[in-house]
């Protein structure tokens, strides 16, 4: 399938909020596919700027409509700055590209003394398996 349009509707992390020094265990993507048919896709989440991979996963089959995908976080990745922003990169039919999103997905330092980060938005639910 060559999808006419693929975009990221939402990106969440778990745990959220996350404490300084902890790693993100899981990332959840909500990917909308407008088109017909199915395609096998490999996803990575990268920090921008910097291009550091924070999650990567096995191949997933995308179907038309909204697809929910959970990826494990990379073992050594930790938050260090006040704000960390991310993009989703997909390998679709052997072509790697950043996937469009309607908004920026960022984890921001919060809490007293800046010891926690959160990506929470209104309407988010816990990230499960």
What was the pLDDT predicted at 110?
84
Topology of domain 5-113, CATH = Immunoglobulin-like (2.60.40)
- pLDDT, mean over the chain: 88
Q: Tell me, what's the pLDDT at 115? A: 85
Structure tokens belonging to residue 96: 């790697």
Top mean pLDDT of 3-17, 66-80, 114-128 is at 66-80
pTM, rounded to two decimals? 0.86
Residue 3's pLDDT is: 45
Task: Evaluate if residue 123 carries a pLDDT over 70.
Answer: no
Tokens of 122: 């209104």
pLDDT confidence bin for 69, thresholds 50/70/90: very high
C-alpha distances in angstroms, 60 versus 38, 70, 86?
Answer: 10, 10, 20
CA distance 88 to 45: 5
Q: Report the relative pairing of strands 5-14 and 100-101 from DSSP bridges.
A: parallel
Q: Using CA atoms, how far apart are residues 18 and 15, in angstroms rounded to an integer?
A: 5
């Amino acid at each position: 399938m060559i999808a006419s349009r693929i975009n990221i509707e939402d990106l969440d992390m778990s745990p959220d909020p996350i404490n300084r020094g902890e790693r993100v265990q899981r990332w959840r993507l909500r990917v909308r596919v407008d088109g017909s048919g199915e395609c096998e896709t490999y996803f990575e989440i990268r920090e921008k700027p910097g291009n550091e991979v924070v999650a990567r996963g096995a191949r997933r089959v995308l179907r038309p409509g909204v697809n929910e995908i959970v990826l494990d976080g990379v073992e050594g990745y930790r938050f260090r700055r006040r704000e960390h922003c991310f993009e989703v990169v997909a390998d679709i039919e052997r072509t790697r590209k950043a996937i469009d999103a309607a908004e920026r997905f960022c984890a921001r330092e919060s809490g007293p003394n800046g010891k926690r980060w959160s990506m929470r938005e209104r309407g988010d639910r816990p990230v499960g398996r």
